[in-house]
């Protein structure tokens, strides 16, 4: 990017001369001067509306006063403009007082029971700009309230000041125009269509930007007063975007989460999962005391001392036997992931460590090595002329990045290409060109398009970006095809994993081939740096991947496993994974909640969820997102501390007693300076054209589904997209399916039955949500994306 | 869901809807005429009608609802055979419009936007008080299915309503021979069923004495606008 | 000095089958179109400027200047398609000139559309007619069909290479759609709520493309200006308000109706033409151009009804909708009725208009029903002050006109309403009681 000199104008506000960038909205210039003009409809990230008229100021242009006060939220600055706000203009002051009085005539006096009371722009500005008494003695407008406009969002129309922030957000930002203005004049109100609730993955933002208490959430309504809350800046744990958030707690409980304002990352938005999915903290599945499997096979609570002693003894024995594997999971902070990486090498004496708790491949690992120095940012994606997404559905798998791409589409007509199977809502809302592929054939399709044409032309525009999701690992050759396309077009490639910890875990060496900083296990010099720092000798032989580790455990080739935050049902073959976990001699689980792993573990060590720990997520951009605990105590410790203590019991020092100690130890190592070459794997065989009664399966997860961290959130779950089997009309007909009727998708392992919805999939393909209620694809069918399945009606 | 929404409207309505959309450079411009079309089928704008429009124009049902609830001519509940609109804006009201509305309301036993009789049956009437109907020189004015009945009195309005209830179709003072609300909504959407009827409709009277007053006085008194030049003057040079 | 009445726009209205192409052409119609299409578009813009034609929709903006704002050439907005939109959403209380025009002489509007579209290089024109104006819609559509059949619309009109499509678009009942940007949103299939300006329609109007929005009477005047020339047009009216204008006289006069006269005619003259006050009951108040123009009284009988004259006397010319009320009518009652109208028609977008009209109606209804309080008059004025110039569009401003002008001329009547509770305010009741507060 070249820096161009911004054109500026000079104007006077309340007697102060100020220089402002040309085109700046006047109310923003006032803000920069510290002059706060009251407002309701204005929001810096929404198009100006000029609807509430609260921000009226007096303006003089070219020496001539404008005849009417002007809305400072719609007027752009100009050279020589003279502005008088309420501080210096009796006219502006009177106009603002007048509008405030009008806003209040129909506003109920229910502040004492309103969620917004205490943090309400209307309340605050009524104090600063309003009268002490009302001249309105007439009848107030009343509405039945509250009106649920979704299972999560409730609307109180009496409190609404019709600023339209919510409708503008839904239309402009989210692309979900499911709330709108209804009726006219004094009867005008926000509402939904009778047949469709406000089903948006981003609906919670409307609650946060509502300047009154008109929109409230089922999750927080009547739970607390703002002034009873303790607020801590936090970072969202739900995906790899690393959104800035704010966690509000009261008496040791998280009451709500709000979006933080980080213009470089999430701007001021959060997806609803990030906002509402925090009740897992208090779920009955939470583990807060160490557990030990007793002689009867039951897990029983024991002291930390005993648990650590048993774990250490078991692991030492396993190490002495056939060795230990370490599965690090995907939700670790960089400090915790480092502790796993180091524990594996130092305490377990192995490179058998992998963070990839999902389908993965060696090709992927080779690709990830080229992603150690990320170059793409949210801002770069926004500025990109063209974007291609591979192995990901933006809205479902990276909601905030989806919003940024949508913004770019709206603001400068960014061209979006999506390599996928059907026109999902996210595809439609980014006006994306869908590059349709039979599941599993994506690599071949991409290679064919790499020869030249529209896609190559678009991506050849400087600054274009290819976004690669972690599902690319499910298609052999796809990472190689991406690398080839990137070379050909000059487009930058960004890896956007789904989970919050993946990028950090990669960087700190929680993979079988890399040491911290991306040092190859096979690079003697790089290895030696780590050996010196850690005071150990490391093998030059790379370790095994997650699947290989579990297979080794199943076959008895490994004697012990340390598993942190892995759900075997997320892996390519859950049955094989479970077999590994069940058959391994000794299993230590570090977990926040009971899981399929704790079910089988010999020792369960509770670890701290985000609210109770400090640490740093590394988001997909490679940006460090440090956070502090938002709740004190809780009797749980971060993974790095538990591993450090466990290592001490095994007579080894990790120096990861605290996250900051772990970070210090890690940062001393610094980054690797060598380079890697991209993978060059050929595409796998294209799935066979479906035979009678069968189809090729496409599948991925939806944003709101049966994810472990979404437990105990019925209001949130109510806004999830309904699980459906999707196929195109011809395929449905061939398979005997009818829209709205039931279809059964089956393998020898099991079957999933859901209602059918038609979509524009390729012929012979059916789609299922991967992990939604009634549709647990991997664990039920034992197969995934690209597999052949049997499909029948009913 | 989509099949159900579309099924309430017959093939002809679909064809007409496509025709309406084709009139405009941008499809969404067709929404107001499409809602008139929906009313011609349903006698009001129902949820099915909203879905019908939403699917045709690729809008959300909320977006269509937002539009449908903004305009007073779109009715939420099924209307009578006829819609009787009484202007009660200031001037008509001062000349008797309020009294007319009050009397009709009492007589029909219904209030604003309520229907006397079973909606859709012969002689059923939906009553409304309307804002200025732009016939002030002919006040007080009533519209039946948007055809003008000018210079009304309480008595003439009562007679009009009685006739309508009997199934008669009194001729408007200005406008086409009376049909019914659905036919008129179809016409607003841009369609007429029968060319002969349509031609007669176009020929319906438009010139009340009031309309021609100035013209007639001018003719009587020999007043006229200055005469045009014999030849059309040359256009000025462009500046 | 021209005659007192100068039928131009209304000249065909008394013709048999005045609305047909046959009548129109027989009486000189579509000649101007031929001359216009033979010229350069810029010449037509110049002619319109020279004529001094000002918008007949109420604001009186110079029409030629409006046309000249349309960016031309292949760059930026000039490269986009241009549109002509006719504002036929006649709904301002008292206003009833466009509807008879469209019924009686639709071809004059269509010919005006063809000439104007050619001048601004538009190939698509929409005539947005309020939905309740069914018969005008019918006549317009029939006339458009005739014009297509005759080759005056469609592609390559009269072999000139000029293409024009006209759509007659029925609205659906919303006064606010008379506001040009609300009309554009409505025409785009949205709620008729006004848009932010800038951008102005001239650069980003219909479909975000350069658009001229003109009133029916304005565009219907265009063929006559082409046929007669700018000088001819200027022989009527005044220097700044030239041309003929349809004055719609309604209310308590003997012969209400449409009177086309040179701009600047007075109410005194109009009343003479209309046979004087009905039943001889004296004039109390009147509007020069619809309810949004501050009311006048008998003291304004000689105010020239052109843009300058009306403004000079503290009102506006508006739509020359002359509503005449005699002494039987209570001003607070009339003001209440008008305010109820503005409340009903407020689009709801901005706070002052939406909430202000809601409040004003309640105060006025309370006063009229005999429950006024001492402070009500001052509250009314102050609420009006908080709406006027604070609302998003002119509807809010217009809503205050009846109240502020009513109180200005008839304050005592409002005060008496409070003093003499319970008030008696309905016109039919007022006829039986001794009137108070009316000026002699």
pLDDT in tens, C168-195: 999 999 999 999 999 999 999 999 999 9
Domain that holds residue A749: 694-793
Take residue A689 and report the two structure tokens written for it: 């054209």
| A119 occurs within a structural domain | no
User: Do residues C226 and C77 share a domain?
Assistant: yes
pTM, entire model:
0.95
Would you state the pLDDT for residue A331? 86
pLDDT at B185 over 80: yes
Q: Which of C348, C366, C392 sits opposite A185 (nearest CB)?
A: C348
Out of 2.60.40.420, 3.40.50.150, 3.40.50.300, 3.40.30.10, the CATH code matching B82-202 is 3.40.30.10
CATH number at residue A166: 3.30.70.20
DSSP assignment letter at C293: S
| C318 occurs within a structural domain | yes
CA angle B145, B147, B148 (to 5 degrees): 130
Take residue A741 and report the two structure tokens written for it: 């009727």
User: Do residues A140 and A240 share a domain?
Assistant: yes
For residue A422, what are the contacts with CB-CB under 8 A and spacing of at least 6? A434, A436, A698, A726, A759, A760, A761, A767
| A93 occurs within a structural domain | yes
In A, which residues are within 8 Å of C393 by CB distance? none
Chain B residue nearest residue A181, CA to CA: B66
| C32 occurs within a structural domain | yes
pLDDT at A748 over 50: yes
- What residues does each domain of chain B span? 2-68, 82-202
Look at strands C244-251 and C321-326 and give their pairing. Answer: parallel
CB contact under 8 A, A177 and B65: no
User: Do residues C228 and C293 share a domain?
Assistant: no
Take residue A320 and report the two structure tokens written for it: 């002495």
Neighbours of chain C (3+ CB pairs under 8 A): A, B
Neighbours of chain A (3+ CB pairs under 8 A): B, C
CB contact under 8 A, B134 and C130: yes
Locate the DSSP E strands across C136-205. 165-170
Q: Which residues of A668-701 are buried (b: 16+ CB within 10 A; e: fewer)?
A: ebeebeeebebbebebeebbeebeeebbbbbbbb
CB of A182 less than 8 A from some CB of B: yes
If one counts the domains in chain A, the total is 5
DSSP assignment letter at B238: P
CB of A138 less than 8 A from some CB of B: no
Question: Torsions phi, psi of A253, nearest 5?
Answer: -125, 140
Name residue, tokens 């975000």.
Answer: C208
CB contact under 8 A, A52 and C349: no
| C89 occurs within a structural domain | yes
Helix (H) or strand (E) holding C257: strand C257-262
| A630 occurs within a structural domain | yes
Neighbours of chain B (3+ CB pairs under 8 A): A, C
User: Do residues C214 and C112 share a domain?
Assistant: yes
CB contact under 8 A, C348 and A184: yes
Mean pLDDT of A731-743: 96
Sign of the CA dihedral running A335, A338, A344, A348:
negative
Percentage of chain A exceeding pLDDT 90: 95
Strand partners, B129: B86
What band does C438 get if pLDDT is binned at 50, 70 and 90? very low
pLDDT at C95 over 50: yes
- Residues C298, C233 contacting (CB under 8 angstroms): no
Mean pLDDT of A109-135: 93
| A711 occurs within a structural domain | yes
Q: Phi-psi bin for C237: left (phi > 0), alpha (psi -120 to 50), beta?
A: left
DSSP assignment letter at A279: G
User: Do residues C172 and C99 share a domain?
Assistant: yes
Mean pLDDT of B146-151: 98
Would you state the pLDDT for residue A685? 77
User: Counting Cβ atoms within 10 Å, is residue B120 exposed (0-12), middle (13-18) or buried (19+)?
Assistant: middle
Cα B111 to Cα B108: distance, rounded to the nearest angstrom: 8
Domain that holds residue C346: 331-430
Cα B32 to Cα B50: distance, rounded to the nearest angstrom: 11
- Residues A614, A247 contacting (CB under 8 angstroms): no
User: Do residues C90 and C109 share a domain?
Assistant: yes
What band does A726 get if pLDDT is binned at 50, 70 and 90? very high
Q: Which residues of B are annotated as a binding site for [2Fe-2S] cluster?
A: 87, 92, 132, 136
End residue of a domain, out of C178, C199, C234:
C234
pLDDT at C409 over 90: yes
Name residue, tokens 């859901």.
Answer: A754
Mean pLDDT of A349-359: 97
pLDDT at A2 over 60: no
Q: What are A's interface residues with C at a Cβ cutoff of 8 A?
A: 48-54, 56, 67-69, 74, 94-95, 98-99, 101-103, 105-106, 135-136, 138-139, 141, 161-162, 181, 183-188
Mean pLDDT of B49-53: 97
CB contact under 8 A, B61 and A182: no
Q: Which of C345, C348, C386 sits opposite A162 (nearest CB)?
A: C348
CATH number at residue A52: 3.10.20.740
Note the Cα A606 to chain centre separation in Å.
24
pLDDT at C1 over 80: no
In A, which residues are within 8 Å of C383 by CB distance? 98, 102
| C14 occurs within a structural domain | no
- Rounded to the nearest integer, the mean pLDDT of chain A is 96
| A127 occurs within a structural domain | no
Rounded alpha-carbon distances, angstroms, from residue C46 to A24, A80, B191, C49: 37, 34, 39, 5
- Residues A545, A365 contacting (CB under 8 angstroms): yes
DSSP letter for each residue of A675-733:
--PPP-PPP-PPPPPP-TTEEEEEEE--SSSS-GGGTT-HHHHTTSPPP-EEE-HHHHH
What band does B75 get if pLDDT is binned at 50, 70 and 90? very high
Would you state the pLDDT for residue B2? 43
Take residue B91 and report the two structure tokens written for it: 């001037």
What band does B8 get if pLDDT is binned at 50, 70 and 90? confident
CA of A177 to nearest chain B CA: how many angstroms apart? Answer: 6
Helix (H) or strand (E) holding C67: helix C63-68
pLDDT at C302 over 70: yes
User: Do residues A453 and A425 share a domain?
Assistant: yes
Look at strands B82-87 and B142-144 and give their pairing. Answer: antiparallel
What band does C119 get if pLDDT is binned at 50, 70 and 90? very high
User: Do residues C128 and C219 share a domain?
Assistant: yes
In B, which residues are within 8 Å of A756 by CB distance? none
- Cβ-based contacts under 8 A for chains A and B: 46
Cα B152 to Cα B142: distance, rounded to the nearest angstrom: 7
User: Do residues C37 and C152 share a domain?
Assistant: yes
Chain B residue nearest residue A428, CA to CA: B58
Residues shown for chain C: 440
User: Do residues C338 and C217 share a domain?
Assistant: no
CB contact under 8 A, A192 and B62: yes
User: Do residues A249 and A177 share a domain?
Assistant: yes
Chain C residue nearest residue A93, CA to CA: C386
CATH number at residue C178: 3.40.50.11540
- Residues B224, C3 contacting (CB under 8 angstroms): yes
Cα B160 to Cα B156: distance, rounded to the nearest angstrom: 6
Over its C-alpha atoms, chain A yields an Rg (Å, rounded) of 28
Look at strands A775-776 and B82-87 and give their pairing. Answer: unpaired
Mutate to test the interface with A, among B4, B62, B76 (most CBs of A within 10 A): B62
Query: Within 13 Å, how many C-alpha atoms sit on residue A740's CB side?
Result: 4
Over its C-alpha atoms, chain C yields an Rg (Å, rounded) of 22
CA of B213 to nearest chain A CA: how many angstroms apart? Answer: 38
Chain C segment 112-141 residues within 8 A of B by beta carbon are 124, 126, 130-135, 137-139, 141
Sign of the CA dihedral running C142, C148, C153, C154:
positive
H-type alpha helices, A40-89: none
End residue of a domain, out of C286, C305, C326:
C326
User: Do residues C337 and C321 share a domain?
Assistant: no
- Residues A697, A764 contacting (CB under 8 angstroms): no
| C390 occurs within a structural domain | yes
If one counts the domains in chain C, the total is 3
Would you state the pLDDT for residue C421? 61
Cα A341 to Cα A327: distance, rounded to the nearest angstrom: 9
User: Do residues C417 and C339 share a domain?
Assistant: yes
Question: Torsions phi, psi of C74, nearest 5?
Answer: -85, 5
Strand partners, A246: A233, A258
User: Do residues C47 and C77 share a domain?
Assistant: yes
Cα C14 to Cα C258: distance, rounded to the nearest angstrom: 12
CB of B70 less than 8 A from some CB of A: yes
CATH number at residue A699: 2.40.40.20
Helix (H) or strand (E) holding A262: none
| A171 occurs within a structural domain | yes
Nearest one of A644, A531, C129, C273 to B210, comparing CA atoms: C273
Strand partners, A775: A772
In B, which residues are within 8 Å of A195 by CB distance? 1, 47, 50-51, 61
Across the beta sheet with A230-235, the strand order is: A230-235, A244-250, A253-259
Look at strands A775-776 and B114-116 and give their pairing. Answer: unpaired
Percentage of chain C exceeding pLDDT 70: 95
In C, which residues are within 8 Å of A158 by CB distance? none
Cα C159 to Cα C152: distance, rounded to the nearest angstrom: 10
Look at strands A765-769 and A694-700 and give their pairing. Answer: parallel
CATH number at residue C272: 3.10.20.600
Look at strands A8-13 and A82-84 and give their pairing. Answer: parallel
Residues shown for chain B: 239
CB contact under 8 A, B206 and C231: no
End residue of a domain, out of A230, A250, A282:
A282
This complex has an ipTM of 0.97
Cα A784 to Cα A782: distance, rounded to the nearest angstrom: 7
Nearest one of A719, A627, A712, A722 to A204, comparing CA atoms: A719
Query: Within 13 Å, how many C-alpha atoms sit on residue C219's CB side?
Result: 32
Chain C residue nearest residue B225, CA to CA: C6
Query: Within 13 Å, how many C-alpha atoms sit on residue A435's CB side?
Result: 25
What band does C433 get if pLDDT is binned at 50, 70 and 90? very low
For residue A49, what are the contacts with CB-CB under 8 A and spacing of at least 6? A41, A42, A73, A74, A163, A164, A168, C196
| C436 occurs within a structural domain | no
Chain A segment 193-222 residues within 8 A of B by beta carbon are 193-196
CB contact under 8 A, C355 and A54: no
Q: Which CATH architecture has domain B2-68?
A: Orthogonal Bundle (1.10)
Chain B residue nearest residue A741, CA to CA: B1
Question: Torsions phi, psi of C212, nearest 5?
Answer: -100, 130
End residue of a domain, out of C264, C297, C326:
C326
Note the Cα A612 to chain centre separation in Å.
20
In C, which residues are within 8 Å of B86 by CB distance? none
CB contact under 8 A, A179 and B62: yes
CB contact under 8 A, B25 and C81: yes
CB of C2 less than 8 A from some CB of A: no
First to last CA, chain C: 35
CB contact under 8 A, B47 and A195: yes
Q: Phi-psi bin for B147: left (phi > 0), alpha (psi -120 to 50), beta?
A: beta
In B, which residues are within 8 Å of C426 by CB distance? 98
Over its C-alpha atoms, chain B yields an Rg (Å, rounded) of 21
Look at strands A742-746 and A788-793 and give their pairing. Answer: antiparallel
- Residues A692, A491 contacting (CB under 8 angstroms): no
- Residues C234, C263 contacting (CB under 8 angstroms): no
Would you state the pLDDT for residue C422? 55
CA of B18 to nearest chain C CA: how many angstroms apart? Answer: 15
| C406 occurs within a structural domain | yes
| C48 occurs within a structural domain | yes
User: Do residues C292 and C315 share a domain?
Assistant: yes
Per-residue 3-state assignment (H helix, E strand, C coil) for A324-379: EEEECCCCCCHHHHHHHHHHHHHHCCCCCEECCCCCCCHHHHHHHHCCCCCCCCHH
In A, which residues are within 8 Å of B69 by CB distance? 182-184
CB contact under 8 A, A181 and B66: yes
Q: What is the pLDDT of residues A612-629, one digit of tens each?
A: 999 999 999 999 999 999
Q: Which of B184, B221, B238 sits opposite C40 (nearest CB)?
A: B238
């Amino acid at each position: 990017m070249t820096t161009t000199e911004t054109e500026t104008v000079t104007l006077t506000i309340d007697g102060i001369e100020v220089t402002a960038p040309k085109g700046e909205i006047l109310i923003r210039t006032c803000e920069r001067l510290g002059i706060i003009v009251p407002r309701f409809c204005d929001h810096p990230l929404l198009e100006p509306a000029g609807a509430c008229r609260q921000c009226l100021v007096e303006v003089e242009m070219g020496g001539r006063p404008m005849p009417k006060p002007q809305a400072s939220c719609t007027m752009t600055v100009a050279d020589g403009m003279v502005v008088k706000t309420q501080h210096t203009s009796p006219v502006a002051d009177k106009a603002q007082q007048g509008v405030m009085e009008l806003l209040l005539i129909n506003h109920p006096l229910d502040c004492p029971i309103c969620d917004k009371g205490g943090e309400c722009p209307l309340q605050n500005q009524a104090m600063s700009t309003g009268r002490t008494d009302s001249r309105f003695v007439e009848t107030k407008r009343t509405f039945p309230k509250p009106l649920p406009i979704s299972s999560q969002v409730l609307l109180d129309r009496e409190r609404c000041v019709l600023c339209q922030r919510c409708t503008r957000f839904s239309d402009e930002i989210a692309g979900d125009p499911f709330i709108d203005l209804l009726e006219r004049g004094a009867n005008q109100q926000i509402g939904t269509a009778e047949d469709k609730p406000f089903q948006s993955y981003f609906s919670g933002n409307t609650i946060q930007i509502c300047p009154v208490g008109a929109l409230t959430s089922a999750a927080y309504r009547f739970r607390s007063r703002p002034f009873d809350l303790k607020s801590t800046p936090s970072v969202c744990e739900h995906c790899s975007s690393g959104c800035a958030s704010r966690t509000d707690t009261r008496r040791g409980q998280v009451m709500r989460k709000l979006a933080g304002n980080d213009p470089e990352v999430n701007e001021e938005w959060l997806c609803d999962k990030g906002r509402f999915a925090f009740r897992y903290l208090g779920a009955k599945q939470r583990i807060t005391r160490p557990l030990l499997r007793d002689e009867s096979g039951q897990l029983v609570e024991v002291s930390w001392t005993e648990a650590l002693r048993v774990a250490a003894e078991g692991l030492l024995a396993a190490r002495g036997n056939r060795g230990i594997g370490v599965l690090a999971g995907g939700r670790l902070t960089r400090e915790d992931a480092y502790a796993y990486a180091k524990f594996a090498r130092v305490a377990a004496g192995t490179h058998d460590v992998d963070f990839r708790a999902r389908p993965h491949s060696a090709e992927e690992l080779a690709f990830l090595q080229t992603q150690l120095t990320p170059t793409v940012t949210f801002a770069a994606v926004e500025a990109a002329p063209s974007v291609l997404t591979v192995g990901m559905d933006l809205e479902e798998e990276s909601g905030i990045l989806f919003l940024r791409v949508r913004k770019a589409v709206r603001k400068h007509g960014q061209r979006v290409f999506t390599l996928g199977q059907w026109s999902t809502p996210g595809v439609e809302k980014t006006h994306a060109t869908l590059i349709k592929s039979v599941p599993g054939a994506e690599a071949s399709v991409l290679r064919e398009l790499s020869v030249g044409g529209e896609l190559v032309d678009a991506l050849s525009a400087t600054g274009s970006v290819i976004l690669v999701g972690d599902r690319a690992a499910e298609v052999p050759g796809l990472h190689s095809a991406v690398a080839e396309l990137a070379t050909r077009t000059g487009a930058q490639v960004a890896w956007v994993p789904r989970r919050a910890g993946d990028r950090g875990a990669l960087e700190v060496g929680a993979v079988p081939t890399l040491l911290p900083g991306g040092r190859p296990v096979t690079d003697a010099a790089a290895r030696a740096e780590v050996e010196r720092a850690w005071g150990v000798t490391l093998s030059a032989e790379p370790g095994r991947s997650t699947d290989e580790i579990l297979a080794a455990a199943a076959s008895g080739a490994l004697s012990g496993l340390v598993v942190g935050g892995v759900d075997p049902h997320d892996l390519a073959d859950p049955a094989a994974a479970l077999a590994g976990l069940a058959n391994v001699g000794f299993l230590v689980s570090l977990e926040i909640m009971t899981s399929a792993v704790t079910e089988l573990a010999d020792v369960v060590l509770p670890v701290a969820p985000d609210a109770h720990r400090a640490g740093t997520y590394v988001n997909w951009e490679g940006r460090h997102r440090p956070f502090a605990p938002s709740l004190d105590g809780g009797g749980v410790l971060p993974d790095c501390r538990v591993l450090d203590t466990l290592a001490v019991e095994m007579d080894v020092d990790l120096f990861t007693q605290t996250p900051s100690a772990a970070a210090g130890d890690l940062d001393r190592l610094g980054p690797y300076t060598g380079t890697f070459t991209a993978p060059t794997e050929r595409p796998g065989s294209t799935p066979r054209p479906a035979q009678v009664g069968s189809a090729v399966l496409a599948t991925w997860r939806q944003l709101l589904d049966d994810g472990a961290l979404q437990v105990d959130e019925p209001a949130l779950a109510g806004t999830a997209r309904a699980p459906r089997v999707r196929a195109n009309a011809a395929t449905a007909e061939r398979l005997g399916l009818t829209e709205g009727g039931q279809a059964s998708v089956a393998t020898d392992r099991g079957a999933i039955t859901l209602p059918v919805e038609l979509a524009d999939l390729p012929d012979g393909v059916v789609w299922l949500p991967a992990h939604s209620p009634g549709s647990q694809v991997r664990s039920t069918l034992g197969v995934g994306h690209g597999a052949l399945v049997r499909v029948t009606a009913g | 869901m989509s099949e159900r929404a579309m099924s309430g409207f017959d093939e002809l309505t679909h064809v007409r809807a496509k025709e309406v959309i084709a009139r405009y450079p941008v499809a969404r411009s067709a929404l107001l005429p499409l809602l008139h079309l929906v009313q011609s089928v349903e006698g009001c704008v129902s949820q099915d009608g909203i879905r019908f429009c939403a699917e045709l124009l690729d809008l959300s049902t909320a977006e269509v609802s937002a539009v449908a609830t903004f305009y007073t001519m779109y009715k939420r509940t099924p209307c009578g055979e006829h819609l009787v609109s009484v202007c009660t804006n200031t001037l008509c009201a001062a000349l008797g419009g309020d009294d007319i509305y009050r009397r009709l309301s009492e007589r029909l036993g219904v209030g604003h936007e309520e229907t006397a009789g079973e909606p859709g049956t012969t002689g059923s009437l939906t009553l409304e008080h309307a804002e200025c109907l732009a016939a002030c020189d002919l006040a007080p004015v009533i519209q039946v299915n948007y055809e003008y009945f000018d210079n009304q009195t309480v008595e003439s309005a009562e007679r009009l309503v009685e006739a309508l209830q009997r199934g008669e179709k009194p001729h408007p003072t200005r406008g086409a021979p009376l049909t019914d609300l659905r036919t008129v909504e179809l016409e607003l959407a841009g369609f007429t069923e029968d060319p002969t009827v349509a031609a007669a409709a176009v020929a319906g009277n438009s010139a009340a004495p009031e309309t021609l007053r100035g013209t007639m006085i001018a003719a009587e008194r020999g007043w006229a606008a200055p005469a045009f030049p014999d030849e059309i003057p040359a256009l000025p040079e462009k500046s | 000095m021209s005659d007192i009445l100068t039928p131009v726009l209304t000249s065909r209205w008394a013709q048999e089958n005045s609305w047909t192409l046959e009548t129109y052409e027989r009486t000189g119609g579509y000649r101007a179109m031929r001359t216009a299409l033979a010229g350069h578009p810029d010449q037509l813009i110049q002619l319109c400027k020279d004529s001094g034609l000002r918008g007949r929709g109420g604001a009186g903006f110079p029409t030629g200047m409006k046309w000249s704002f349309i960016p031309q050439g292949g760059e930026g907005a000039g490269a986009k398609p241009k549109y002509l939109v006719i504002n036929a959403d006649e709904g301002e209380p008292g206003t009833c000139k466009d509807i008879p025009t469209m019924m009686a002489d639709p071809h004059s509007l269509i010919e005006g559309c063809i000439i104007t579209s050619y001048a601004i290089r538009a190939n698509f024109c929409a005539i947005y007619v309020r939905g309740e104006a069914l018969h005008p819609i019918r006549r317009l559509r029939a006339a458009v069909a005739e014009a297509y059949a005759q080759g005056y619309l469609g592609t390559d009109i009269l072999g000139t290479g000029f293409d024009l499509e006209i759509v007659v678009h029925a609205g659906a009942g919303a006064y606010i759609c008379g506001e040009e940007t609300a009309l554009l949103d409505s025409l785009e299939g949205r709620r008729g709520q006004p848009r932010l300006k800038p951008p102005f329609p001239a650069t980003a109007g219909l479909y975000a493309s350069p658009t001229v929005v003109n009133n029916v009477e304005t565009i219907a005047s265009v063929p006559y200006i082409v046929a007669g020339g700018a000088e001819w047009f200027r022989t009527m009216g005044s220097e700044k308000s030239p041309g003929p204008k349809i004055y719609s006289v309604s209310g308590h006069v003997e012969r209400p109706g449409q009177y086309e006269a040179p701009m600047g005619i007075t109410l005194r003259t109009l009343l003479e033409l209309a046979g004087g006050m009905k039943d001889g009951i004296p004039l109390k108040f009147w509007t020069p151009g619809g309810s949004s123009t501050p009311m006048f009284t008998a003291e304004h009988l000689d105010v020239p009804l052109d843009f300058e004259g009306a403004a000079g006397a503290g009102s506006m010319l508006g739509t020359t909708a002359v509503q005449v009320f005699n002494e039987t009518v209570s001003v607070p009652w009339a003001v209440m009725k008008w305010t109820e109208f503005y409340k009903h028609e407020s689009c709801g977008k901005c706070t002052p208009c939406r909430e202000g009209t809601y409040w004003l109606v309640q105060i006025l209804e309370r006063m009229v029903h005999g429950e006024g309080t001492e402070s009500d008059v001052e509250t009314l004025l102050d609420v009006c002050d908080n709406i006027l110039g604070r609302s998003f569009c002119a509807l809010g401003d217009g809503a205050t006109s009846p109240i502020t002008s009513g109180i200005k001329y008839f304050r005592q009547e409002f005060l008496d309403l409070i003093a003499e509770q319970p008030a008696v305010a309905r016109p039919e009741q007022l006829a039986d009681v001794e009137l108070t507060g009316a000026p002699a």
